[in-house]
Amino acid sequence: MNRRHFIRQVSAMGTFLVGANAPLQAIQRHRKLGLSIASYRRSDRFYSDQFPAWKNALDVLGHCQSLGAGCLQIGVRGWTRDFAGKVREKRESLGIALEGQIGLPRSEDQLAAFEASVQRAKEAGASVLRAVCLGGRRYETFKSIASWQAFQKDSLAALERAEPVMRRHRVRLAVENHKDWRTAEQLNWLEHLSSEYVGVCFDFGNNLSLLEDPHQQLESLAPYVMTTHLKDMGLAPYESGFLLSEVPLGQGILNLNALCDRCLQSSPHIQFNLEMITRDPLKVPVLESDFWITMEELPARDLAWVWKQVQQKGQDAAAALPSVSQKTDPERLAYEEANVRACFQYARQSMGFHEAG
């Protein structure tokens, strides 16, 4: 029996046990919604007396307490042993869990720094670290098949470097579907690595940009999911395709409870982390030839499915989606904060989460 079949059998057994002994909503009521730091753009770039820039993770932990968040997912690069100890002390005093964010080792000379970050994160109390293979968006980044193929090769090499480090420290690496991998492609390298220490940070909405149904996507990835980015998504048409935007929970097209339930079936202790990015809608130019450079073999039914969502469930105009470009810094940061708090309120009132503390 290979690891893939074993994981799926265990996943199915977990589904049976959860259904028999602990209804999903009962489990979820004991879950506390976490916060991905990507939900905020507070920095020196945007100034507001009401929402000053955070200095470090200690400040963000204090904000998590005000939200009632039960977990913080945040970057750990450059942490010292002393700072990791301070993070652990503060988060334990507040009852807040920790997940890290980390860059992959793209070369051998980055391995030492990568391992140091893993060590510091573990000392602070993190057992899961989220990573991405691509910082941008596939359809904007790659202008040729050759460049896409080189990225795939380099990403696999980086994951192969990282895996022994994660195994040695017994910390899990959760690689996000970050508008880069379609499901079959992500499964290919997951099965190639076949490691209990490398899995998925499942983002509920990102693969809409690659014309995939998140509900079907999760059916394939569920056995590998180690953590999540919980979000809802809005759509609207524009001249070259469709606009895609995070929206406050409950205001988009996703069946959030169904997605959460499916995650819980495979992993009853999964952490749900809100990623509510308040920004201008992203353009997904499916009517432009450049979009298809790396996806020429996609079946027409995938485009038809997402276009049906745009027509039936999307907004009539971009103005109905969140936008920040016309706002001042204080207005932008206040809007961001309001959206995050609306999400936490919805999660408690409509999704069975409860407030930390």
Domain ranges of the chain: 3-350
Percent share of the chain, pLDDT over 70: 91
Work out the pLDDT band at 5, boundaries 50, 70, 90. Answer: very low
Residues 97, 86: Cα–Cα separation, whole Å? 14
CATH 3.20.20.150 fits 3-350, yes or no: yes
Paired tokens of 6: 């074993």
Per the DSSP assignment, residues forming a β-bridge with 175 are: 131, 200
Q: Are strands 232-238 and 172-176 parallel, antiparallel or unpaired?
A: unpaired
* CB atoms near residue 327 (< 10 Å): 15
Identify the band that residue 313 occupies on the pLDDT scale cut at 50, 70 and 90: confident
The per-residue pLDDT for 346 is 98
Q: What is the pTM of this model?
A: 0.92
Answer whether residue 46 shows pLDDT above 90: no
First-to-final CA distance of the chain: 43
Strand, helix or coil for residue 215: helix
pLDDT tens digit sequence for 106-149: 999 999 999 999 999 999 999 999 999 999 999 999 999 999 99
- Work out the pLDDT band at 4, boundaries 50, 70, 90: very low
Tell me what pLDDT residue 29 has.
53
Sheet order of strands, 282-284 included: 232-238, 241-247, 282-284
Closest CA to 192 of 35, 3, 60, 63: 3
- pLDDT tens by residue, 285-294: 999 999 999 9
Closest CA to 274 of 249, 255, 309: 249
pLDDT of residue 25: 54
CA dihedral 182, 135, 218, 75 (to 10 degrees): 160
Q: What mean pLDDT comes out for the span 72-82?
A: 98
The DSSP letter of residue 322 is -
Q: How far apart (Å, rounded) are the C-alpha atoms in residues 73 and 273?
A: 7
Whether 155 shows a pLDDT value over 90: the answer reads: yes
- Position 357 confidence tier, pLDDT thresholds 50, 70, 90: low
The vertex-193 CA angle with 187 and 197, nearest 5°, equals: 100
Q: Give per-residue pLDDT as tens, 8-27.
A: 444 443 443 333 334 455 45
> Comparing C-alpha atoms, which of 312, 301, 205 is closest to residue 259?
205
pLDDT at 82 over 80: yes
What average pLDDT is seen over the chain?
Answer: 92
The secondary element (H helix, E strand) that includes residue 237 is: strand 232-238
Q: CA torsion 330→319→213→255, rounded to 10°?
A: 70
Residue 259 to residues 205, 219, 248, 290, 352: CA-CA distances in angstroms? 11, 9, 16, 31, 13
pLDDT band at 319 (very low <50, low <70, confident <90, very high): confident
**Average pLDDT, integer, range 225-231:** 99
pLDDT of residue 316: 76
Alpha helices in 230-316, H assignment, sequence order = 256-266, 300-313
190 pLDDT more than 80: yes
Q: Which of 195, 154, 157 is nearest to 174 (CA)?
A: 195
pLDDT for the residue numbered 28:
54
